[in-house]
Amino acid sequence: MTLNASETLALGAGALWCVRGVQTLIPRPILAGLAVALCVAAARPFQVEFTFDTVLRDLLITVFFTTVGLRASTSLLKRDGARVGVCLALAVAGAIAQNAVGVWMATLLGLNPLTGIVAGALTLAGGPATALAFGQTFDQAGLPNSQTIGLACAVFGIVASGLLSAGIGEFLVRRHGLRSEGGSANAQAARTGSALDTVGLLVLAVGVGSLLSRAIPVPLPGHIGAMIVAAVIRWTDDRRGQLLDERTLAVISEWSVNLFIVLALVSLKLWVLLDLALPLFAILLVQVLVTCFVAVVLVWWFLGRNYEAAVASAGWTGFMIGTTANAITAISALERRHGPAPGATMTVSVVGAFLIDFTNSFVILTSADFVRRYLVN
């Protein structure tokens, strides 16, 4: 059974509506998407197969990251610039650690050491888009079917991130009795402009950003260009225009990321996880445990040991084992329960959606070159 783009979108929105009253630590879009994915998997033994048109899924994630750029006010970037630098350093260190743990585990279990990178920073810190982008590179380096392995690992990371990320932040908030300061979010929301101008500038950023992404020589997800263009528009508007409306951006941001998460999970083939060899599953399990430990102990400490740090730690966990959409979903869930954390949202968005993609590309290529030279026979 094939569902076109509008039918797939309707299914995702319907799933979100169906779980609206469920009380759980798992973010609502994660719960909705997993529920549909489980139903799709349960139908397979009865020879009922579903195919989903994902064109709107890809557009939604581009729209979301465009809103991230349009909300990147110069005042907020100045205030949180140091935190962004620390978070990026922790993310790069985490990606290197994921590759080191992955290669060590792969060697220990008798697998090709390159498998450890695929089950490391390539798919966990990188996500499915990075796995697709570097698949041919690892095939040529000596790891056949690396794209298939990478997508399976990315599926595992997305599911694990959806289940664990918000819980990391909840644990830190409750353990340390933290509270939101709240003031910055109110100040940010006070900005008003034209809803029509906001939507028009967003569409412009998406279009121009698509052209820019194709012009960048480094293999990166397509939304990077849109976010860069959107940030330039915001900085220009801060100085001259005041056309952007913060409430409109907030609504578009929330709906686009929530629907993206649902559609991403709806189209995931969960049975692929069942086909993973036990050694590969062991590598991924150790990776998730190590990443969560680093988030609770080191990320929380280095980011300031306050409420914003707790929420940012949840977001860091989200994009380091899943995607930035997982991270923002976890942050949104924590903000609804405990209050706004605008600094954490900005930090995680900039690092997880933009900076880590640049730096992780070099971490992956450097690690792969080292393994190919010294560890692969």
In order along the chain (377 residues), what is the average pLDDT of each group of 10 residues? 88 88 72 85 85 85 83 71 92 97 94 94 87 79 82 85 93 93 51 84 92 76 80 86 84 85 76 70 95 96 95 96 89 92 88 80 90 84
Report angle CA 148, 123, 12 to the nearest 5 degrees: 80
Tell me if the pTM is above 0.95: no
- Cα–Cα distances (Å) from 3 to 10, 131, 266, in that order, read 10, 26, 12
> CA angle 278-92-115, nearest 5°?
25
Question: Which value, in Å, is the radius of gyration of the alpha carbons in the chain?
Answer: 20
Q: What is the CATH number of the domain that holds 210?
A: 1.20.1530
State the total domains in the chain: 1
- Given this model, what pLDDT does residue 221 score? 62
- Could you tell me how many residues make up the chain? 377
Supply the range of the domain harboring residue 60. Answer: 2-374
| Predicted pLDDT of residue 187 | 44
pLDDT for position 185: 42
Strands (E), the chain: 2-3, 51-52
**What is the pLDDT at residue 113?**
94
270: left (phi over 0), alpha (psi -120 to 50) or beta: alpha
Q: Which amino acid is at 183?
A: G
Per DSSP, 126 falls in state: S
Cα distance between residue 329 and residue 326, in whole Å? 5
